[in-house]
């Protein structure tokens, strides 16, 4: 939607768990140079191609662990994904969150879905740095570039919750939840048609809890509840209410693809209705009354500007 070269190639888009994650050219070049140096090759296409894949992986992991003390790349120390789309001014002319606000993709219908507790999955699979103290949480918020009042807000919304849970909630909302909501709102306010949904289904099992975490919505939206690996995402063998939820999501996705209407009201300039997918039933909510969205209201949400300041 943000790429000029793709203009006119599609008329609708369904976006699952849209991450607010991209690099400036300067940040991408800095990280590339560090990975190449660690792998012992030149920071060029030919240099990287000359390295063994496993050496690049090892170098990437090591570089990610070194990011925390660098204001340019500090955020990568918490979520060590050192490969992101690069806003180069050509292939990707502007950051993907700002572009819809400009209205240049208003002719593309948009359906956004994100999960309620995105980052619990990254923690479960060891893909996110641990934060266990109030001091570490404050350092994370500084790296993220959000005001300290958000920490107090999440503490009030999650009384008695351990630091780790508040950290994962803040990180998930910053990276995915708020990004997805603002993406839909920006698109709608610029004259496009946008729909917003949120996956909230969870299951408590004797072995733990399958949360509404990152990627848990995928087996439901594609009707793949019995596929290999799905049991881990959804917490075991699907129950009938899970299959019913999957049928509802499949119907909504197909309805949107075919006719542009998933079955609930679109986001408008004045309202942000959101379909909350859950068992035994889903429901329609108003994001304007959401306690979490209220916390983020008025918070500048421009990671690109943060990165440019750091460089």
**pLDDT digits (tens), the chain, 311 positions:** 888 899 999 999 999 999 888 888 888 898 899 999 999 999 999 999 999 999 999 998 888 766 655 655 666 678 767 788 899 989 988 887 777 777 888 999 999 999 999 999 999 988 888 899 999 999 889 888 888 899 999 999 999 999 999 999 999 999 899 999 999 999 999 999 999 999 999 999 887 889 999 999 999 999 999 999 999 999 999 999 999 999 999 999 999 999 999 999 999 989 999 999 999 999 999 998 899 999 998 887 654 444 444 33
Helices and strands, counts by H and E, the chain: 14, 9
Model pLDDT, residue 62: 84
236: left (phi over 0), alpha (psi -120 to 50) or beta: left
Neighbours of 126 (CB within 10 A): 8
Task: List domains and CATH numbers for the chain.
Answer: 4-22+107-299 (3.40.50.1820)
Q: How far apart are CA 247 and CA 32, in angstroms?
A: 44
Model pTM? 0.89
Q: How far apart are CA 277 and CA 272, in angstroms?
A: 16
Backbone angles phi, psi at 308, to 5 degrees: -65, -35
Model pLDDT, residue 311: 37
Q: How far apart are CA 119 and CA 123, in angstroms?
A: 6
Angle in degrees, CA 224, 124, 143, rounded to 5: 120
HSE (CB half, 13 Å, CA atoms) of 268?
5
């Amino acid at each position: 939607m943000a790429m000029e070269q793709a203009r006119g190639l599609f008329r609708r888009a369904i976006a699952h768990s849209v991450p607010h994650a991209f690099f400036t050219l300067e940040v991408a070049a800095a990280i590339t140079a560090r990975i190449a140096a660690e792998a012992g090759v030149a920071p060029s296409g030919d240099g990287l191609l000359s390295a063994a894949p496993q050496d690049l992986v090892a170098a990437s992991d090591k570089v990610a662990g070194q990011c925390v003390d660098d204001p340019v790349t500090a955020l990568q120390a918490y979520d060590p994904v050192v490969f992101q789309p690069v806003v180069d001014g050509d292939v990707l002319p502007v950051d993907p969150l700002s572009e819809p606000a400009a209205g240049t993709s208003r002719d593309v219908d948009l359906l956004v879905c994100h999960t309620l507790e995105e980052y619990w999955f990254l923690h479960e699979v060891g893909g996110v740095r641990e934060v266990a103290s109030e001091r570490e949480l404050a350092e994370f918020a500084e790296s993220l570039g959000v005001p300290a009042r958000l920490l107090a807000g999440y503490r009030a919304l999650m009384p008695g919750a351990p630091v780790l849970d508040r950290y994962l909630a803040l990180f998930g909302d910053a990276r995915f939840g708020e990004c997805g909501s603002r993406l839909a709102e920006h698109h709608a306010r610029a004259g496009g048609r946008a729909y917003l949904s949120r996956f909230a289904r969870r299951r408590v099992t004797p072995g733990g809890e399958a949360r509404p975490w990152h990627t848990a919505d995928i087996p439901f939206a594609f009707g793949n509840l019995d596929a290999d690996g799905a049991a881990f995402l959804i917490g075991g063998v699907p129950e009938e209410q899970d299959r019913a939820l999957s049928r509802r999501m499949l119907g909504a996705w197909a309805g949107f693809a075919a006719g542009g209407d998933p079955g609930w009201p679109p986001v408008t300039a004045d309202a942000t209705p959101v379909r909350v997918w859950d068992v035994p039933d889903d429901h329609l909510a108003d994001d304007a009354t959401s306690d979490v969205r209220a916390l983020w209201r008025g918070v500048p949400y421009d990671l690109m500007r943060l990165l440019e300041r750091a460089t």
